């Protein structure tokens, strides 16, 4: 039942903010993993069971779009739900991400938006069964 | 967009990001003197796209611990390490730049925003030697000041 989450962002402060939002969300969290770019993210996915990926787009080494592309090509990772959290404002890029099935959250974000987006994406039901906030 | 509209957009985006990301309230102080950059932490981010350029952001040294502490959710703001304070400023300028460019150029445009860097006040003066910024914003916060300079190259 607990959700194992991987947070991929090149900013350690942003990863901490996302983790804080998750902790406040009342979602049933399991293990949380962090990675600083897409390649590190794929390495974590290779070695751990992850139920949800939260990823930035603009990152050095391997960006979020490339990471998602790689995830989609492997049977073990192609169905993992993905939330992209980015400053990206380009409709073209957002459309490409939507076509790959990723949900999108714009930075700056509110903790409530992260919670609701994950609930919708993972079919976790109503707003009153979490209760931690 | 006119120069005046770009400046308004810069103020609006910077104020909103500071508030929503760092829980810091800021006030436009267009008439005040530029900050003392030797007493500031300065970040720079470059971008390419329909136009290319650079955004600089300077924040008073004494204001940065609270900003970083708020972003990290620390109880005691003085606990943010220097590296975390720099990281907080880099993420702030990254989010400001990422929101600013489509607000200026339109949502259909695609920009590539490079990774932000912390620079010294000397490096900043060198960038400024390239000429007047296309747009600038001066903000006051409880614990200090914040200046933003946008350079558009073409
Ligand atoms: Mg980033």
Which tokens in the block code for residue B65? Answer: 């611990």
Mean pLDDT of chain B: 91
Is pLDDT above 60 for A87? yes
Provide the pLDDT confidence category of residue B25 given band limits of 50, 70 and 90: very high
> Residues of B numbered 122-151 whose beta carbons fall under 8 angstroms of chain A's beta carbons: which are they?
none
A74 assigned to some structural domain: no
Confidence of residue B8 (pLDDT cuts 50, 70, 90): very high
pLDDT for the residue numbered B125: 82
What domains, with CATH codes, occur in chain B?
3-28+39-153 (3.40.1550.10)
Alpha helices in chain B (DSSP H): 3-22, 64-72, 82-105, 121-129
pLDDT of residue B108: 86
Say yes or no: A73 contacts chain B, CB-CB below 8 A.
no
Question: What is the structure's pLDDT at B129?
Answer: 62
**Residue A69 forms part of a structural domain:** no
Question: Which residues contact residue B68 at a Cβ distance below 8 angstroms, ignoring those fewer than 6 apart?
Answer: A13, B74, B77, B80, B84, B85, B87, B88, B89
Distance A126 CA to ligand 1 centre (A): 31
Rounded Cα–Cα distance for residues A23 and A29 (Å): 8
Q: Do A10 and B71 touch (CB under 8 A)?
A: no
Widest pairwise Cα distance in chain B: 45
Nearest CA in chain A to B17: A108
pTM: 0.90
pLDDT digits (tens, 9 = 90+) for A22-45: 999 999 999 999 999 999 999 999
When pLDDT is averaged across residues B136-148 and rounded to a whole number, the result is 95
- The reply to whether A79 falls in a domain is no
Tens digits of residue pLDDT in B65-81: 999 999 998 876 557 88
> Is the ipTM value over 0.90, yes or no?
no
Using the Cβ of B152 and the Cβ atoms of chain A, whether some distance falls under 8 Å is answered with no
pLDDT band at A133 (very low <50, low <70, confident <90, very high): very low
Longest dimension (CA), chain A: 40
A66 assigned to some structural domain? no
Q: Mean per-residue pLDDT for B24-31?
A: 94
User: To the nearest whole percent, how much of chain A has pLDDT over 90?
Assistant: 76
Q: Is B41 on the interface with A (CB under 8 A)?
A: no
| Inter-residue contact B40 to B23 (CB < 8 Å) | no
The answer to whether B40 and B60 are in contact (CB under 8 A) is yes
The predicted structure's pLDDT at residue A132? 47
Residues of A within 8 A of B72 (CB-CB) are: 13, 16-17, 20
B62: distance to nearest CA of chain A, Å? 19
* pLDDT tier for residue A88 given thresholds of 50, 70 and 90: confident
What pLDDT is attached to residue A90? 79
Residues 6+ apart with CB under 8 A from B47: B53, B54, B55, B97, B101, B111, B112, B113, B114
Residue A25 lies in a domain: yes
Cα–Cα dist B12/B19, whole Å = 11
C-alpha separations of A133 from A16, A22, A38, B124 in Å? 18, 11, 31, 43
Catalogue the E-assigned strands of A9-79. Answer: 29-35, 52-55
Q: Find where tokens 């947070």 sit.
A: A7
Q: How many folded domains does chain A comprise?
A: 1
Task: Report whether pLDDT(A131) > 50.
Answer: no
Distance from CA of A98 to the nearest CA of B (A): 16
Domain with A92, as residue range(s), is: 1-61+86-99+106-133
Distance from CA of A76 to the nearest CA of B (A): 31
Q: B108 vs A88: CB contact, 8 Å cut-off? A: no
Mean pLDDT of A101-130: 85
Instruction: Looking at the complex, report in whole angstroms how far the Cα of residue A21 sits from the nearest Cα belonging to chain B.
Output: 10
A125 found inside a domain:
yes
- Angstrom CA distances, B5 to A70, B17, B136, stand at 41, 18, 12
Among A119, A126, A121, CA closest to A27: A119
Contacts of B71 in chain A (CB under 8 A): 13, 16-17
- Domain of A34: which CATH number? 3.40.50.2300
């Amino acid at each position: 039942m607990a959700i194992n989450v991987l947070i991929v962002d090149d900013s350690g402060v942003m990863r901490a903010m996302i983790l804080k939002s998750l902790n406040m969300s009342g979602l049933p969290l399991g293990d949380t993993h962090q990675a600083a770019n897409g390649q590190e993210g794929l390495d974590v996915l290779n070695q751990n069971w992850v139920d949800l990926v939260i990823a930035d787009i603009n990152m050095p080494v391997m960006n979020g779009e490339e990471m998602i592309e790689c995830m989609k090509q492997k049977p073990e990772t192609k169905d993992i739900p993905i939330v992209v959290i980015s400053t990206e404002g380009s409709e073209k890029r957002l459309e490409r991400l939507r076509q790959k099935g990723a949900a999108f959250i714009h930075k700056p974000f509110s903790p409530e938006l992260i919670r609701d987006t994950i609930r919708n994406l993972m079919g976790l039901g109503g707003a009153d069964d979490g209760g931690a906030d | 967009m006119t120069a005046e509209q770009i400046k308004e957009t810069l103020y609006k985006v910077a104020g909103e990001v500071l508030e929503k990301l760092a829980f810091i309230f800021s006030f436009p102080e267009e008439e005040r003197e530029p900050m003392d950059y030797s007493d500031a932490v300065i970040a720079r981010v470059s971008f390419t796209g329909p136009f290319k350029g650079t955004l600089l952001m300077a924040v008073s040294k004494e204001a940065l611990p609270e900003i970083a502490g708020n972003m990290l959710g620390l109880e005691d703001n003085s606990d943010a390490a220097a590296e975390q304070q720099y990281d907080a400023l880099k993420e702030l300028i990254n989010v400001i730049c990422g929101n600013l460019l489509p607000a200026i150029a339109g949502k259909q445009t695609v920009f590539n925003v490079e990774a932000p860097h912390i620079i010294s006040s000397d490096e900043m003066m060198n960038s400024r030697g390239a000429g007047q910024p296309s747009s600038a914003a001066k903000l006051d916060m409880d614990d200090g000041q914040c200046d933003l300079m946008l350079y558009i190259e073409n």
